């Protein structure tokens, strides 16, 4: 294993004012990414500062050495628009832009530093040479409905008033429960919400088709295409809400969500007319195979769909860790505090455990260099890895105790290993929100 590992570094000098890190140690990925146009930057779980910092450095390498100018993250498109305005045009500030996100896991010091670095890179550059920031997730009707309301107020106010009640339903959100099983309405009420927004999506689609020329004339082609995508996102999120109502947050919810995210990643490239895009998400989304082999093959994660659609243009890098702390929400705590939880050390008979025993500094494994019959293959095939979400329930151990299998011989192109990690620090907006609740 040590023959295939190359040392890299975590740059703690990334801060809110400048990026001073040297990325020459990340030249280990240059050959692999030179022919790829979509790069997946994974992480074992959200809330890890060192993963975020490493991915900041990786993205900086892609930008400065490989001319990547598109960045996508596992959040909603409409919520990410204020960040894009800041990154591209300097409108507002990074912290205010991050406040629009529903996912608190990105509202951290490390992600803020990444966004400020993007703005610094863009400052003074020609518009066509600037980094763009996008979201590609699809779990909420709230933000796309709000964006559509604003668009219709500009181009078709009478129709906006006509469908205003349905838009209000979508703006408030239509999911029957959250991931903790908490429900704010009866099943019948939720079904009515979903039916209302399904009809809204149909009405919007018909209207956008019939009034395309008028809408483009009132704005421009780019604004029309963005608004049309919000209609698509509204439809996707409504279909996911229907899945939750019928089957909960199970496998079907997962693979449908990932299929939609793949569609949205493809849309970003088409919208920007640029094919060099880095996407930031969990390892489980970016891997090329299905973590649930009992599902049909086409029910795979985001990475599966990108691999099927784009082939060698898609290159996926995973990040695994040894031990340390992670930032999570304790689901039993009504105050919604964000404690740093200690992570268990990996089992010694696993790939990650072996890496932890061998290395005290961050390492990179070029998985594409591992050949059939190599001694390392048996460690990589059917490897046990860990994953956790942004919430933790110590009674049932969800969040920090989720193990799953990955075949690293083909599901990822490279693997970064970070022996010691620290929890990401939430921004003041996150902790103040918790206090308010």
Task: Give, as one character, the DSSP assignment of residue 297.
Answer: T
Identify the pLDDT of residue 338.
66
Residue entry with tokens 């912290």: 95
Identify the pLDDT of residue 211.
99
Report residue 299's pLDDT band, with 50, 70 and 90 as the boundaries: confident
Asked whether 219 and 155 are in contact (CB, 8 A), the reply is: yes
Identify the pLDDT of residue 336.
56
Using CA atoms, how far apart are residues 234 and 247, in angstroms rounded to an integer? 20
Report residue 342's pLDDT band, with 50, 70 and 90 as the boundaries: confident
Asked whether 355 and 320 are in contact (CB, 8 A), the reply is: yes
For the segment 134-163, the average pLDDT, to the nearest whole number, is: 98
Using CA atoms, how far apart are residues 285 and 85, in angstroms rounded to an integer? 27
Question: If you average pLDDT over every residue of the chain, what do you get?
Answer: 87
Which residue pairs, CB below 8 angstroms and at least 24 apart, start in 217-224? 218/154, 218/155, 219/151, 219/154, 219/155, 222/271, 223/151
For 254-312, where are the E strands, in sequence order? Answer: 277-280
Identify the pLDDT of residue 5.
79
| pLDDT(306) > 60 | yes
Using CA atoms, how far apart are residues 34 and 233, in angstroms rounded to an integer? 32
Residue 71: name the closest of 215, 278, 239 by CA.
278
The CA-to-CA distance between both ends of the chain, in Å, stands at 48
For the segment 369-380, the average pLDDT, to the nearest whole number, is: 82
Q: Is the pTM of this model over 0.85?
A: yes
* Residue-by-residue DSSP string for 367-421: GGGPPTT-TTHHHHTTEEEEEB-SEEBTTTTBTT-EEEEE-TTTS-SEEEEEEEE
Instruction: Report which of residues 177 and 411 the model is more confident about.
Output: 411
For the segment 160-181, the average pLDDT, to the nearest whole number, is: 85
For the segment 191-210, the average pLDDT, to the nearest whole number, is: 98
For the segment 294-306, the average pLDDT, to the nearest whole number, is: 85
Identify the pLDDT of residue 17.
28
For the segment 192-198, the average pLDDT, to the nearest whole number, is: 97
Instruction: Report which of residues 16 and 237 the model is more confident about.
Output: 237
* Domain definitions of the chain by residue range: 5-124+277-436, 142-257
- Architecture per CATH, domain 5-124+277-436, reads as 3-Layer(aba) Sandwich (3.40)
Instruction: Report which of residues 14 and 6 the model is more confident about.
Output: 6
| pLDDT(314) > 70 | yes
Residue 407: name the closest of 417, 416, 415, 399 by CA.
415
Using CA atoms, how far apart are residues 409 and 14, in angstroms rounded to an integer? 33
Identify the pLDDT of residue 396.
46
Identify the pLDDT of residue 274.
85
State the Cα angle at 85 between 79 and 90, rounded to 5°.
Answer: 140
Residue 412, token pair as written in the block: 């990822």
Identify the pLDDT of residue 428.
85
Summarised one tens digit per residue, pLDDT across range 394-415 is 554 444 546 678 888 899 999 9
Instruction: Report which of residues 435 and 421 the model is more confident about.
Output: 421
Identify the pLDDT of residue 35.
92
Report residue 368's pLDDT band, with 50, 70 and 90 as the boundaries: confident
| pLDDT(67) > 60 | yes
Summarised one tens digit per residue, pLDDT across range 16-54 is 223 456 788 899 999 999 999 999 999 988 888 999 999
Q: What percent of the chain has pLDDT over 90?
A: 62
Asked whether 420 and 322 are in contact (CB, 8 A), the reply is: yes
Identify the pLDDT of residue 327.
78
Report residue 69's pLDDT band, with 50, 70 and 90 as the boundaries: very high
């Amino acid at each position: 294993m040590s023959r295939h590992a190359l040392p890299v570094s975590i740059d703690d000098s990334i801060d809110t004012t400048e990026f001073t890190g040297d990325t020459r140690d990340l030249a280990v990925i240059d050959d692999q990414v030179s022919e790829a146009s979509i790069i997946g930057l994974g992480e074992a779980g959200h809330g890890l500062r060192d993963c975020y910092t490493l991915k900041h450095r990786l993205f900086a390498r892609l930008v400065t050495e490989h001319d990547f100018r598109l960045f996508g993250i596992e959040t909603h498109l409409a919520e990410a628009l204020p960040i894009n305005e800041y990154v591209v045009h300097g409108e507002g500030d990074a912290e205010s832009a991050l406040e629009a996100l529903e996912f608190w896991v990105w509202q951290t010091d490390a992600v803020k530093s990444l966004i400020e670095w993007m703005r610094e890179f863009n400052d003074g550059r020609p518009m066509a040479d600037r980094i763009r920031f996008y979201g590609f997730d699809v779990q909420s009707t709230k933000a796309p409905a709000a964006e559509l309301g604003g668009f219709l107020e500009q181009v078709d106010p009478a129709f906006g008033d006509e469908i205003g009640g349905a838009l209000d339903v979508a703006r408030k959100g239509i999911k029957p429960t959250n991931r903790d099983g908490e429900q704010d309405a009866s099943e019948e009420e939720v079904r009515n919400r979903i039916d209302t927004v399904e009809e809204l999506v149909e009405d919007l689609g018909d209207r956008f088709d019939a009034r395309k020329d008028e809408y483009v004339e009132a704005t421009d082609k780019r604004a029309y295409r963005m608004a049309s995508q919000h209609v698509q996102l509204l439809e996707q999120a409504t279909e996911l809400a229907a899945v939750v109502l019928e089957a909960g947050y199970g496998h079907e919810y997962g693979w449908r969500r990932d299929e939609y995210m793949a569609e949205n990643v493809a849309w970003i490239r088409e919208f920007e007319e640029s094919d060099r895009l880095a996407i930031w998400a969990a390892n489980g989304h970016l891997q090329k195979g299905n973590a649930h082999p009992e599902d049909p093959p086409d029910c795979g994660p985001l990475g599966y769909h990108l691999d099927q659609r784009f082939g060698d243009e898609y290159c996926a890098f995973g990040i695994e860790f040894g031990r340390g702390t992670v930032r999570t929400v304790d689901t039993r705590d009504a105050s919604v505090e964000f404690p740093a939880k200690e992570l268990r050390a990996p089992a010694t008979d696993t790939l990650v455990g072996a890496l932890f025993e061998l290395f005290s500094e961050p390492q990179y494994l070029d998985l594409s260099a591992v050949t059939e019959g190599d001694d390392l293959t048996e460690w990589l095939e059917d490897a046990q890895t860990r994953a956790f979400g942004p919430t933790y329930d110590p009674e049932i151990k969800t969040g920090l105790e989720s193990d799953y299998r990955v075949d690293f011989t083909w599901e990822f192109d490279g693997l970064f290993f970070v022996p010691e990690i620290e929890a990401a620090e939430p921004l003041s907006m996150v902790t103040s929100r918790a206090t308010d609740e």
